[in-house]
Structure 1
Amino acid sequence: MIYKAPEKGMPMLQDHQNFDVDEAFEVGLSETGNLWQRLGVKPDFTGLDVMEVGSGLGFLTADIALAGAKSVLGIDTWEPRVEWGTKKLAQRFPQLTNARFDSTPTNDMAGEARFDVIVSQNTFEHIADIDSVLNSFRRLLRPGGRAYIGFSPMYHSPFGDHGELRARVRLPWLHLIAGRKRVIAAYNKANGENVTTLIECGFNALKPADFRRAFLRSGLVVESLRVNPTEGGLKQRIMDAFALISKIPGLEPYFATGMYVVLRKP
């Protein structure tokens, strides 16, 4: 499992029925710069082979292809998203011949040293087996290649359930106060499922220290790691305050909302 599948009966996608997929694609496309700002660097994709893991609607895959990449492979393990993304790019950017989508998990992809860059946005908080996915990144990257990974919100942070609890009023940390059983019950009710664990709902519930250890175990070099970066303004001031509070022993999981890391294959 790469990441959480969408709710049943909600094609494409989010946690409410009036979700406009085409509008979300355009908004996402206009905001791709946020990822690079949070990472602190935007790669020059010119002439590179790139893979995006957790491509979703495909707007980041499209943006990278438009930036001059030699090829871009968007990976999404939910087949309807792959189909939708393929059709959307053909419709929105008919000139693009360097981008495609596939539903094969990175763990099952053949070969090695296939990509110069791997990008993943808002996916790692859902991955069930971080170590195996990072191992696949190391195998699939060419020597000197980099993985740019950014994800938020982590499960223990203020809104880490991604709205899954479906409370009438969204309050910070409410899902933690309610407890995992209630989050799972809300997921089952909304999706007609009968799962028993958070991971089956799509949340690995890993804490920042767990991610740091996984990055170090991966055999990839951690070139940079940022906690709680945003795009400035009031939100940035709040995140800066959260970052300070997170330094107090025991509080980091609750105030570290997002992590943005650059890894390099030696």
Structure 2
Amino acid sequence: MLSLPLEDKTPPDWQLPQDSIIESIKKPLRLAIYPHYLKMMSPILRQRFAKFDERNLPIDQWFWWPRGFEFELLRYRLNQIFTINSKSVLIAGCGQGRDVTTWLKYKPSQIVGVEYFNYRRSWDLFTEKYAEQVPIQFIQGDLTNLSDIPDNTYDIIASDAVFEHLKDLPAVLKEFYRILKPTGVMYATFGPLWYSWGGDHFSGKDNTGFNHLLLKQEDYLTYINNYERIGVTYIKNFLQENMFSYLKPYEYIDALHNQGFSKRWLGFAISPQAVDFFVTHPTIAGSLTQKASILDLFVCGISVVYQKRP
């Protein structure tokens, strides 16, 4: 039996999130404008960066990070590929539960959130507010062992900003494949990736986005400890607990195929900061290519929709 942390990690002053007036205006505007923007940008980015893809992957969309990775656009895109209405959705790595609200407009038959840490108070608040719209349930569990969930249970398994933190991606994908219904889909968007700009989720101010790759361990820890920034303790915990996958783009894709998933849709996001760094610091950039390929260093995010074979 896996031992899960029991303490409720919901902050004492936590309240249900609410969009600001500005954000409530931006969301529909992004949904109206960005699909056209992405359609225009993808061939431009493909022409510039596909040459670094030595395996010629069937990439459907190239992104200029972070444009197009907003939640409302990600849900919209998935719904174009695989209709969400009346489908059961498992949110893997749901955190405090905020993702739930981004699925409601598509009217799934049910939403179940799974999270390693306990956020029961926030989960109860989300359930109380939204359960009349869609049946909602939150459970605490380890994604590498979802033995309480029967085979062939869910139509959609979804995750955002989770894969880059998984220490055993193959084990997680094995469970996802097992609990998906035949022809069900697994959607995931993740990043920044470890070998990309800001891949440690901390570096990135000024010209420090590759510090986690360039600095010796002692110097890197000094850099983090001396930097006053909100969230530094959280990131230090990530590093101390080894909560990164340390995988490169091809390794993520290979893991999906090795598990038996078939591609429905694949998107790569290019980091503008990484590209700029290579232009302004060519000598240092050259040393980075000894650690990873240019594709590994430029691709900071990946979005996938993969399907379970019948």
With structure 2 as the length reference, what TM-score do the two structures score? 0.63
Q: Which runs of 5+ in 1 are unaligned?
A: 13-18, 230-234
User: What is the one-letter code of the residue matched to 1:64?
Assistant: W
8 A Cα contact 2:114 2:138, kept in partner: yes
Give the superposition deviation at 1:132. Answer: 0.6
8 A Cα contact 1:65 1:98, kept in partner: no
- CA distance, structure 2, for counterparts of residue 153 and residue 118 of structure 1: 21
Q: Does 1:216 align with 2:294?
A: no
8 A Cα contact 1:53 1:120, kept in partner: yes
Change (3 A) 1:39 1:116: closer
User: What is the one-letter code of the residue matched to 2:121?
Assistant: E
Give the superposition deviation at 1:264. Answer: 0.4
8 A Cα contact 1:115 1:140, kept in partner: yes
- CA distance, structure 2, for counterparts of residue 100 and residue 37 of structure 1: 23
Q: Structure 1 residue aligned with 2:169, among 107, 130, 151?
A: 130
CA deviations over 1:35-56 (Å, ceiling 9, x no partner): 2467694642221111011112
- Find the counterpart in structure 2 of residue 16 from structure 1: none
Change (3 A) 1:219 1:183: farther
- CA distance, structure 1, for counterparts of residue 254 and residue 158 of structure 2: 20
Q: Structure 2 residue aligned with 1:87, among 125, 150, 162?
A: 125
User: What is the one-letter code of the residue matched to 1:201?
Assistant: N
Give the superposition deviation at 1:88. Answer: 3.2
Q: Structure 2 residue aligned with 1:57, among 90, 96, 100?
A: 96
SS at match of 1:226: strand
8 A Cα contact 2:107 2:134, kept in partner: no
- CA distance, structure 2, for counterparts of residue 179 and residue 21 of structure 1: 40
Give the superposition deviation at 1:140. Answer: 0.4
- CA distance, structure 2, for counterparts of residue 86 and residue 101 of structure 1: 8
Q: Does 1:204 align with 2:245?
A: yes
Give the superposition deviation at 1:204. Answer: 1.5
- CA distance, structure 2, for counterparts of residue 181 and residue 35 of structure 1: 39
Pairing of 1:153-164 with structure 2 (within 5 A): 153-163=192-202
- CA distance, structure 1, for counterparts of residue 180 and residue 273 of structure 2: 32
SS at match of 1:131: helix
- Find the counterpart in structure 2 of residue 147 from structure 1: 186
Q: Does 1:171 align with 2:216?
A: no
Q: Which runs of 5+ in 2 are unaligned?
A: 28-69, 226-231, 280-288
- Find the counterpart in structure 1 of residue 65 from structure 2: none
Q: Does 1:69 align with 2:69?
A: no
8 A Cα contact 2:85 2:108, kept in partner: yes
Change (3 A) 1:199 1:225: farther
SS at match of 1:150: strand
- Find the counterpart in structure 2 of residue 232 from structure 1: none
- CA distance, structure 2, for counterparts of residue 56 and residue 103 of structure 1: 10
**What is the root-mean-square deviation in Å for CA atoms of aligned residues?**
3.9
Change (3 A) 1:178 1:203: same
Give the superposition deviation at 1:177. Answer: 1.8
The structure with the largest alpha-carbon Rg is 2
Give the superposition deviation at 1:133. Answer: 0.5
8 A Cα contact 1:149 1:262, kept in partner: yes
SS at match of 1:86: helix
- CA distance, structure 2, for counterparts of residue 40 and residue 90 of structure 1: 26
8 A Cα contact 1:65 1:99, kept in partner: no
With structure 1 as the length reference, what TM-score do the two structures score? 0.72
8 A Cα contact 1:62 1:99, kept in partner: no
User: What is the one-letter code of the residue matched to 2:241?
Assistant: E
Change (3 A) 1:118 1:87: same
User: What is the one-letter code of the residue matched to 1:265?
Assistant: K
- Find the counterpart in structure 1 of residue 67 from structure 2: none
- CA distance, structure 2, for counterparts of residue 20 and residue 183 of structure 1: 32
